Structure 1
Amino acid sequence: MEYLPTHFSMRRFFDATMKRNKLFTGLSVIAVIILVWALLPKSPDTDYADEGEPRTRPATQLKIGYVTIAGALPLFVAEKYGYFREAGFETELVRFKSSNEIAIAAATNKIDLVGICATNAVLDAAVASSTRFGAFLLNGYTKPSETEQATDYLLARKGITLEQLKGKRIAFFPGSISRVFANLIFPRLGLAVEDVEYIEMSPPNWISAMETGVVDAVTAVEPFAQMLRDRGRVDVLVEGYYAQVMPNVPLSGAWFVAGRLPADAEARIYSAFGRALDLIQSDRERALRAFSDFTKISPDVYRRIGLNRWRLIEDDEARESIRRFVAILLESGELRKAPASYLWAPRYAP
């Protein structure tokens, strides 16, 4: 029998022992890593399959319709400061020229959320299309007071008075909402809508139209009203034009389309708007920076404008104000029929 040299046997034994030790050490390190990972807190945005592998939950796509006016500030704030993103949404803000366009887009599944829209336009679309909408944020227009500035005005070229508006050309915000309010307000000013030349015009065109004499007056909302006043070529005929109908009139708001989004998504959106309102209340300067992102208008303009009175639908006064406004629209004939329900009711508390 032939024997291997002793030093060879010892070397093989030593190598085998080292391999076993390395394997044991490696397995121990892996076990420690797994244990530490298991004890770490899990991200709320991470989903775990049955086999234990992490899978990131994709953000919910959210297409939001809006018009570029100061009343849309809560939407702009929530977008600029990441409140939608933190709530799990990837947003696309779609700009429209009028509330009627937004309401139609929502009723025909072109957008997922109404970021701001005139109340009458939404209610008309609801009745015409059998689409159910639910207001969750109301945008109030107010008269000036010791603590609040007006948010809208009836402005005329220098030297033109209320009595001289007959036969004059007046610019109105596009959409049915302006005619509704003109029908309600002009008689209180001693005028009828038929007494003036009614012209629908987008806000960015108001300044040049007034300065060149294309129109003689305009029912202006912020920030464009402030820009017109800054130029010193207009007279203020009415402060708080829309609030002539009723104090803190809920002219517009943000709306859910019933069944379009899951209940938990609605709750997260509601919370994001709530955070936006908190920032507007606590840090006006920071909140107003959101305007510049969407309008490219100097922040200096926004520092001097009156802000709307926004209220979430959980507020009792908010619910009462929109019910009263709808009653006025029905009584005056400006709204033929109101849907049975138009207020958002959370399917569970946000």
Structure 2
Amino acid sequence: MTASFAPALPAAHAAAAAQHYPEGALYVVATPIGNLADITLRALHVLQLCDTLACEDTRHTLGLLRSYGVDKAPGRLLAVHQHNEAEAAQQVLERLARGERVAYVSDAGTPGVSDPGARLAAAVRAAGHRVVPLPGASAVTALLSVAGAVGGGAAAPQFVFAGFLPTKAAERQTAVAALAQEPRCVVLLEAPHRIEDLATALAVLGSRRVTLGRELTKQFEEITTHPAADLRTWLTGNPQRSRGEFAVLLHPAAADAGDGPDEGLRVLRVLLPELPLKTAVRLAAEISGAPRNALYDTALRWRQAEQAQNDPDDEGAEAAD
């Protein structure tokens, strides 16, 4: 995005400057997840006001500041990311002890929500300094607000944020098996190179609805809802659909779903160590009513992952029936 939002800075100062901004405090500032117009006026004022700006990527943040006309010398930026968060927190504490105002931003969205920031905030609070939230953009709440995720019973308004699932196939399948038993909304995040793998893993959830948000707030934003079993087919129907950053929402489990996919996973877990793969899948599908094809794909991946762990030199070996 090449547009300049510098004219917003005077408005931000006019709207927010009269408020109190204590010295020696850490300001946790949410930044846009795509559309730069989603910055808040108070965030712009604090970004200009702060003595030090801690950030996940200094180069990315300098570009963001230029878009808003915020004047901040590179020497005033401090890198605080997932690989150095504990060590960099000590530098932040030293600056806070001198009475500086320190703002922290991640590359996009709200810090500490699947981004660095939680350890920094914990260290600052433990040292007795104030941590001030400046709320704003979040892919989690953005997707929740438009998914229309409703369900029966007391669980309807509740949700669980699970973030990124494990990248290893066996661990991911175990995580999905746990999610199958979660009746509330579940929000996940995923990268473009793993979104098809995630969709394949979720297929075992069968008819449970899944809303996928791609490139939220950006020019090519796309929001779509499908049964879990159909999600991968939709993704592979157009190569463009696997590009961009993703937020994924599992809708609440239907109150009258009966046994279904979650029961299928539980039964499959019990049968698979004792029976040939195809027999275990057939019985699990008959007992639970879960889709046989999805159960078969899941069982095959479990077997292959188990073989790879037991025989790392032969990861390509096929599972025996």
Category of TM-score, reference length = shorter chain = under 0.3
The answer to which structure, 1 or 2, has the higher relative contact order (CA under 8 A, 6+ apart) is 1
* TM score, norm. by length of structure 1: 0.25
Give 1 or 2: higher strand fraction. 1
